[in-house]
Amino acid sequence: MARASWRDRIATARAERVAASRVRVLRTATHRDGARVEVLDSNGTPRKLLNFCSNDYLGLSQHFAVINALQDAASREGAGGVASHLVCGHHAMHVALEKELADWLGAPRALLFGSGFMANLAVMQALLGDGDICAQDRLNHASLIDAARLSGCKLRRYPHGDASGALRLMRESTDGVAMLATDGVFSMDGDIAPLRELALAARVQKALMYVDDAHGVGVVGPDGRGSVAEAQLTTEQVPLQLVTLGKALGGYGAAVVGDADLIEHLAQTARPYIYTTALPPAQAAATLAAVKLARSEDWRRGKLYDLIAHFRERADRAGLVLLPSETPIQPVMCGSDTRALSMSATLEQRGYWVAAIRPPTVPEGRARLRVTLSALHTHADVDGLVDALGRARDKAEAEARVAEMLR
């Protein structure tokens, strides 16, 4: 039998993507200025758009104090991390950032990673293996799912937000150790996991609970300490949680915070920590400045939640279909992939950048526009967006009727 051709395989895969309207398009931003961004269109011509698909929830990525910290540290310490943490890459700026994060979130210790994907992989590969079980929410981020698969454990996925379902799955296996892993704020739906109920299920099954709070820290909870703090859970109940530094904190990288013994175990055994270059000290300095702003400037969260309420009230009046989210992630449901793409294109023509999210990122038949709000936006920005969304929806529905008539 002849060996299969990899060129044929990728050509087939591409044809399937085209037929299903699931080709991903890489857009290039040439300049960012607050919530506004200059983006190259398909002809390479720059267009100025109002950005409603960024994760810069608190508007810190371009804050002068954050940029000054980055520039100052880079001028003194250089641009790179130079080596892994355990060789010679561990810098005083890393130590300061880890201590600040641990203090903010009320945990004994924190450990920096290059990205949230690497951090999730580190946690699961260091703590799980053959014979162990990991129960996960069906809508968890891809990095949690892939990390569990690569660890070699039994991955079991419970219905979204179903703590009793998680409990049933963990009861299936009594050998080895158990972990219950969930997003804190779900990145595509914007809702918050029922963490108190999940923590009880984990305690009953003597499972380690791990919360990926990438979209929660900085935004929800007292002083922006995230969904775990919002649920009034302690490190004893949630021994580990993930903090990404590139969303509400506006930078890059991630940290795992929690129980000191578990964090030390990660530092000693986690391959994504041991065998990769440390974050540049200048990046750590910038994020340290961002954390201090996030902790002290509550007005940013206040403004953000005012904008969320305003958007939802206006969207409801316009008849847009939203999911029950109280976070800056506000999905506008479209249903079909073609409708989501049509609405996104119409919005861009009107000066708004809102990405269409399609399967496999979201379930089949659940394509959407993932609107994200930032403290950088204004009420007028939101009003303009909602008006454009209504017009985009009407146009997409008219196109769908015409297409149905031509079948």
Catalytic residue IDs: 187, 215, 247
Under 8 Å between Cβ of 357 and 369 = yes
Q: Which two tokens stand for residue 388?
A: 């454009």
52 assigned to a ligand binding site: no
**Are 358 and 336 contacting, i.e. CB atoms less than 8 angstroms apart?**
no
Does 116 appear as a known binding residue? yes
Distance CA(58)–CA(171), nearest Å, equals 41
187 known ligand binder? yes
The single-letter DSSP state of residue 77 is H
- Whether 63 has a binding-site annotation, put simply, is no
220 is written with which tokens? 């929800």
Do 205 and 171 contact (CB within 8 A), yes or no? yes
Burial of 72 (0-12, 13-18, 19+ CB in 10 A): middle
Please indicate if the annotation marks 160 as binding a ligand: no
Q: Six-digit token pair at 354?
A: 């809102």
Any known ligand binding at 379? no
Does residue 258 sit in helix, strand or coil? strand
Q: Among residues 196, 203, 185, which one has the least CA distance to residue 139?
A: 185
Q: Count of CB atoms within 10 A of residue 121's CB?
A: 23
Residue 350 contacts residue 388 (beta carbons within 8 Å): yes
Binding residues for pyridoxal 5'-phosphate: 116-117, 187, 215, 244
Binding residues for substrate: 24, 141, 361
Binding residues: 24, 116-117, 141, 187, 215, 244, 361
